Amino acid sequence: MITAGVDVGLMNTKIVILRDKEVAAQRTKQSGGGGRGETVKEIWQDALKDAGIKPKDISKVVATGTGKKDVSFADKTVVEAVAAARAARFLYPESTSVVDAGADMTHVVTLGEGNTIREVVMNQKCMNGLGLVIEVMADRLGLTLDEISALAPAQGKTNPVNDGCPVFAELDALGLLNIGVDRREVAGAVTDAVVVRLSSILNDKIRPQKDTTVFIGGLAKNLAVTERLKERSGIHFLIPENAEYGGALGAAVIATDM
């Protein structure tokens, strides 16, 4: 049985094709804008080519993510939290919670028995787009996301920025640049602000299990974020190798039930 999951995010679209519950192909491409539907079709063709199959070979396609309605060929759409929960269960059967943090939204899902969900907590309005905050800052500072990921956990501790509101965080970061603070240190400070927000969703509201919490989404690929978050929250996350494909994988797994 071949199924596919399409996760249309704010910044990137991800596709996973599963053959008998084994990943046959995975693809990602930058998405966004009015042409989002077209981008999805392009990656779809590439992913099919990678897997060496034709569209008719695929039994079901499930879409998720911010732009799930733009997937014209999907048989079903599911919300991000549901896809994240299934991905976590699929990758780590013993997992109890999953954190899905990307460019746009952050979801923390507490898993129930089997494939059920006990609780979903989303980010507060003021910290929408944590991944975007880091992307904008990287663009501004002329650093790549890999360079930010490689920042040592200690960088940015001396000159903090506001961690309550991204608008102020950005303003503070510019203030630091203005007084000649090194741009890597500024990037570290912004990363810390993002970590404080993530940690507040985790520890103030949910208190997930320390050793059975999965972390997926684009931010899970950023070592500067994950290492600092581990340190701050005390949670030893289970991070899959292709964390950014979490949502798409969950959607593909859901498609196998249909």
Partner 1 sequence: MTGEFRKWPEFSWLSDTDTWKSAEKITAGIDIGTTSSQAAVFADDELFGYASIHTGADFTLAANTVIAKALASSALSVGDIGTIAATGFGRRNVLYATKTQDEISCIAKGARFIYGPAVTTVLDMGGQTTKAILLHEWDRVREFEVSDKCATGMGRHIETAAEILRVPLTEMGDRSLETENDPEPVSTTCFNFAYSEMMSLFREGYKEDMYKENEVIASYLFAVAWRILGTVGKLAPLDIGDIKIKEVLGFTGGLAKNKGITKRIERELNITAIEGKHDPQLAAAIGAALLA
Residue 121 in the binding site for partner 1 (CB under 8 A): no
Q: Where are the alpha helices (DSSP H) in the chain?
A: 36-51, 80-91, 130-141, 145-149, 166-178, 183-200, 223-233, 246-255
Q: Which of residues 48-77 bind partner 1 (CB under 8 A)?
A: 66-70, 72
Structure tokens at 168: 């102020």
Which of 128, 200, 209, 242: binder of partner 1 (CB under 8 A)?
128
Of residues 134, 132, 110, the one with CA closest to residue 122? 110
Q: Which of 2, 23, 165, 223 binds partner 1 (CB under 8 A)?
A: 165
By CB under 8 A, residue 116 contacts partner 1: no
Cβ neighbours, 10 Å, residue 44: 22
When the beta carbons of 5 and 67 are compared against partner 1, the nearer one is: 67
The mark string for 80-109 relative to partner 1 (x by CB under 8 A, - otherwise) is: ------------------------x-----
CA distance 140 to 154: 21
> Which of 2, 19, 23, 37 lies at the binding interface for partner 1 (CB under 8 A)?
37
**Cα distance between residue 72 and residue 185, in whole Å:** 44
Task: Using CB under 8 A, pick the residue from 23, 53, 136, 223 that binds partner 1.
Answer: 136
The distance of closest approach from Cβ of residue 185 to partner 1 in the complex, given in angstroms and rounded to an integer, is 12
Residues 55-86 as b/e (b if ≥16 CB within 10 A, e otherwise) read eeebebbbbbbbbbebbeebeebbebbbbbbb
List contacts with partner 1 (CB under 8 A): 10-11, 30, 32-38, 66-70, 72, 104, 125-126, 128-129, 132, 135-136, 138-142, 165-168, 170-171, 174, 177-180, 183, 186
